[in-house]
Amino acid sequence: MSEATASAARRSWISAEPLAGLAAAGQAVPVALLASLPGLVFVAGFDHLAYGLGLLAGVVLAGLLIAPHVARTGAATITDALRHRFGRATAIIGAIVIVLVVLPLLAAELTFVGVLAEAGLGVPYLVAIFVTLAASVAATLWLGERAFAWLAVAAYGLLAASLFFLLGLLAFKAHGIVLPHIAFGQALTAISGHEGTLLENGLVDFDTFTVHVAPFLRLSGRDFLALVISVALGTAVLPPLVSALAAGRHPHISRMTGAWAALFVMLVLVSVPALAAYVKLAIYGALAGDTPLAALPSWLAPPLKADLAHVHGISLAMLSRAADAVGAGAADPAAIADHLARHALAAEQRWLALDEQVRAAIVAAARTISADASGDALWQAYVGQVLPVAATAAGNEAAMLTQAALVIEPLGLLLALPALSGAPGWIAPLIVIAILAAALVMATALIRSLRALVVDEPAASRSWRAPAVTLATAAVAAGFATLRPDELVTIVVSALSLGAAGLFPVLALGLAWRHATAAGAIAAILAGGGVTLYYDVGIQVFPAAFYRTWAPISNAADFAIEEFATLETDAREAESEEERAAAAAALETLARGTATRHGLANWFGIDSASGAIFGVPVGLLALVLVSLLSRFRPSRDKEP
Amino acid sequence: MIEVGFGLLLIAAAVAILSGVGGLLPGASGVDLLPLLGYGGIGFLLATGVLLVAAGLARRAIGRQPERRHALRTARLTTVALLVAALLAIGLPLAVGPFNLVRIGGLPFGYYLAAQGALIGLVVLAFAWAARQGRIDAEGARHE
């Protein structure tokens, strides 16, 4: 233990276990996912608690299982540990998996920053992305380990403080001074009262409505299991988290640091269900209290402006862009659709799904406001001219705000939080800045973990390779982010899933088991990562072909299978090329599934993002079998 | 070896209930236990049985190979900790139904467990795991 005492003597404040744990917590959870959690739990109640359970279990496994193994090899990063234990080839293949995991995470983080900065601070999307990127690259190249750790501590502290502040305000509004983590039971009771009212009055859409505390309405038990496993094992091998816990530490210190990191992540995660409960209480209170659309609550304005919420399919952003289009001379629906598609494809699809008279009402309203486009005039036109027509078209005769009419996306809920909690107006930008700071730290941690792939020694960071790789990878991620992908949560979970399948077997078992060989490690990474990548890409890109190959183990219902067969016949017997293309496209959509309907292409009904549930067992099996088979050959990689 | 015996008994019982002969076992009251336990309950029985057998075998192996004492104790601790983590993060939420029958302050207990209880449990597990592994390492260093 002399090594430990020697390092203890050299320890400064930041390497004391609790503080180092706090710094690791700041690099543990992709903020794009963390900030979506209240919105996710708001939408699906119990089922989306899976994310929080997975994240915390992942931090525990990273600290107690993976990081000590990495630290024991004397390495600071995952690839270093693979190189020390299994040699160069394994390290290179591991590095490829790390790139495939970190790039989408970084792109999601940058997109999140862009969306939040645009909606919350009024900074243009691309400007926000490139400022963040420049700051992250600068912090990667010029900030030392210790300074970056302090930055992570500060950012995580700010994030937690703003979350606690909002939670405290919301709880105070509902029932005075209480400890919200315990008192939110009362909020849940009140919510179930409101849910009862909504159900009795027939104000719900069963495609999107979920009884908050009831389990397994949105996800089946099997989906829940797959999601927890994918998120947990993916977080356990998240490169920046493992490096933060393992770097230069004795295994015992890295375990204690991991436990402290888990404690700090837990403090934030236990606040999420309470926050979701109070938000739901406020929003369902408005829904059950017969709020007319004419008196639309003002807390809906921020998400409506950002196109992250819509009422009867229409957001303020859509109206404002339609006004731009009309001002530019476009008047027919197709031209406006083109204009909307320039900002977001989802907005165009919602526009095309609207009724003829609703679109006419939007165009008419757009004409009245295109002259003076102040925010107030826009709001008046939206509430006064557009929503009544939309409500009538949707059969909402009383023109009330209903659960069926109102859709809030997870990030939209985040934007509505400050106003919902009754915080003064100047608080909202501060909270946005705190969340952006946490996202910036996470983005920097991801870029640093990419740079670490080419830097063996601190001295080598002087060479041209590290800055070149840093810049190149950052540019690729920024390229993805400029496409403004939706579904940030799916991107994050898919990336974690791939990381889990590729790296978890070799890090959890390979580093610990003395009979593991380099051949076994390579087989584990390729087989595990390959299966998960095939599952995700296969379903997203070739859904119909995927379903045809794996029809016997798909959980598709009989009517869906019949629909698929009918469409296949249509595609085969189509007379014109256009008909054939339309039928083929419908076939792909049916097989892939949509937000409200499961696709046919799956194994046992598991979501395409949660493929780690197949990849991890395959990887473990490959590691054991190939290691045992290759053991009897003399190999220079085989070291105890 | 007593753990191995108990473990095998539990596994046999789980298999018997699953195959529908639970009522035919000597001493059983002729009641089919499957609806009562559910697949979650049988999974729990099986897991406990496997755990007991593994613990017994590990103890035996440690007795026979004192030079691998540290590695085997570490492996045993890791297995137990992983099972507890899986139980907290997956088992508890999947078996939420019966817990929800209990309400504390209006809050269904199962929901509370998944929202906070399991998370607090995971952190306790992390500290306990770190402390226990620290003790195993310290003892290993003393023996060397």
Do the Cβ atoms of A421 and A173 come closer than 8 Å?
Answer: yes
Q: Would residue A543 count as lying in a domain?
A: no
**Domain endpoint, select from A380, A395, A420:** A420
What's the Cα-to-Cα distance from A82 to each of A336, A503, A511, A525, A597, rounded to whole Å?
54, 10, 8, 11, 42
Indicate the number of domains in chain A.
2
* CA within 13 Å, CB half, B42: 17
CA distance A160 to A558: 48
Assess B104–A contact: CB distance below 8 Å, yes or no. yes
The pLDDT value recorded for residue A4 is 46
pLDDT of B4 strictly over 70: yes
For residue A186, what is the enclosing H or E element?
helix A180-200
Q: Would residue A629 count as lying in a domain?
A: no
* Domain edges within chain B: 1-64, 67-144
Contact A64 B118 (CB under 8 A): no
Q: Would residue A504 count as lying in a domain?
A: no
Give the residue on A whose Cα is nearest the Cα of B136. Answer: A252
Assess B114–A contact: CB distance below 8 Å, yes or no. yes
The pLDDT value recorded for residue B34 is 65
Size of interface A-B (CB pairs under 8 A): 119
Q: How far is A416 from chain B (nearest CA, A)?
A: 23
What's the Cα-to-Cα distance from A561 to each of A566, A573, B134, rounded to whole Å?
9, 18, 56
What's the Cα-to-Cα distance from B4 to each of B50, B55, B87, rounded to whole Å?
9, 8, 22
CA distance A287 to A117: 29
What's the Cα-to-Cα distance from A212 to each of A47, A48, A184, A417, B118, rounded to whole Å?
9, 10, 13, 19, 18
Q: Which of A189, A262, A514 sits opposite B123 (nearest CB)?
A: A262
Strand, coil or helix: A406: strand
Contact B100 A181 (CB under 8 A): no
Contacts of A273 in chain B (CB under 8 A): 115-116
Beta strands in A419-469 (DSSP E): none
Q: Which of A225, A228, A259 sits opposite B126 (nearest CB)?
A: A259
The answer to whether residues A227 and A313 belong to one domain is no
The answer to whether residues A372 and A333 belong to one domain is yes
Give the residue on B whose Cα is nearest the Cα of A231. Answer: B89
Do the Cβ atoms of A24 and A256 come closer than 8 Å?
Answer: no
pLDDT of B126 strictly over 50: yes
pLDDT of B29 strictly over 60: no
Domain extent, residue A28, equals 13-279+426-480
Residue with token string 């400050």: A418
Residue type, A490: T
Assess B130–A contact: CB distance below 8 Å, yes or no. yes
CA distance A510 to A519: 11
Assess B81–A contact: CB distance below 8 Å, yes or no. yes
Residue B135: count other Cβ atoms within 10 Å of its Cβ: 11
The pLDDT value recorded for residue B66 is 75
The answer to whether residues A89 and A228 belong to one domain is yes
User: What token pair was written down for A359?
Assistant: 């679109």
Residue A625: count other Cβ atoms within 10 Å of its Cβ: 14
The pLDDT value recorded for residue A36 is 94
CA distance A601 to A544: 7
Contact B122 A188 (CB under 8 A): no
Instruction: Pick from A12-16, B25-29, B89-93 the range whose average pLDDT is largest.
Output: B89-93
Q: Which of B71, B82, B137 sits opposite A252 (nearest CB)?
A: B137
Tally the residues of chain A. 640
Q: Would residue A71 count as lying in a domain?
A: yes
Residue A440: count other Cβ atoms within 10 Å of its Cβ: 22
CA distance B106 to A109: 38
The pLDDT value recorded for residue A8 is 46
Contacts of A252 in chain B (CB under 8 A): 130, 133-134, 137
Confidence of residue B30 (pLDDT cuts 50, 70, 90): low
- Residue A44: give its domain's CATH number: 1.20.1730.10
The pLDDT value recorded for residue A380 is 86
The answer to whether residues A303 and A271 belong to one domain is no
pLDDT tens digits for range A51-75:
999 999 999 999 999 999 999 988 8
The answer to whether residues A51 and A74 belong to one domain is yes
The answer to whether residues A68 and A99 belong to one domain is yes
pLDDT tens digits for range A440-496:
999 999 998 988 887 655 454 556 777 888 888 888 999 989 888 888 999 999 999
The answer to whether residues A155 and A97 belong to one domain is yes
Assess A193–B contact: CB distance below 8 Å, yes or no. no
Do the Cβ atoms of A414 and A116 come closer than 8 Å?
Answer: yes
The answer to whether residues A135 and A168 belong to one domain is yes
Q: Would residue A443 count as lying in a domain?
A: yes
Contacts of B71 in chain A (CB under 8 A): 514
Give the residue on B whose Cα is nearest the Cα of A45. Answer: B111
CA distance A195 to A191: 6
Confidence of residue B92 (pLDDT cuts 50, 70, 90): confident
User: What token pair was written down for A170?
Assistant: 């919301």
Q: Which of A57, A185, A262 sits opposite B104 (nearest CB)?
A: A185
pLDDT lower than 70: segments of chain A: 1-15, 248, 370-374, 455-463, 596, 633-640
Contacts of B125 in chain A (CB under 8 A): 60
Assess A224–B contact: CB distance below 8 Å, yes or no. yes
Do the Cβ atoms of A439 and A109 come closer than 8 Å?
Answer: yes
The answer to whether residues A329 and A453 belong to one domain is no
Assess B88–A contact: CB distance below 8 Å, yes or no. yes
Contact B78 A184 (CB under 8 A): no
The answer to whether residues A136 and A260 belong to one domain is yes
Contact A229 B90 (CB under 8 A): yes
Q: Which of B108, B110, B141 sits opposite A1 (nearest CB)?
A: B141
Contacts of B100 in chain A (CB under 8 A): 213, 215
Contact B122 A186 (CB under 8 A): no
Q: Would residue A360 count as lying in a domain?
A: yes
Residue A424: count other Cβ atoms within 10 Å of its Cβ: 7
With vertex at residue B24, the alpha carbon angle to CA B20 and CA B29, rounded to the nearest 5 degrees, is: 105
The answer to whether residues A71 and A171 belong to one domain is yes
The answer to whether residues A176 and A151 belong to one domain is yes
Tally the residues of chain B. 144
Do the Cβ atoms of A439 and A32 come closer than 8 Å?
Answer: yes
What CA dihedral angle connects A149, A154, A155 and A159, to 10 degrees? 140
Question: Best mutation site among B79, B111, B129 for testing chain A: the one with the most A CBs within 10 Å?
Answer: B111
Residue with token string 């467990």: B113
Residue type, A39: G
Contacts of A211 in chain B (CB under 8 A): none
Residue B62: count other Cβ atoms within 10 Å of its Cβ: 17
* CA within 13 Å, CB half, A368: 16
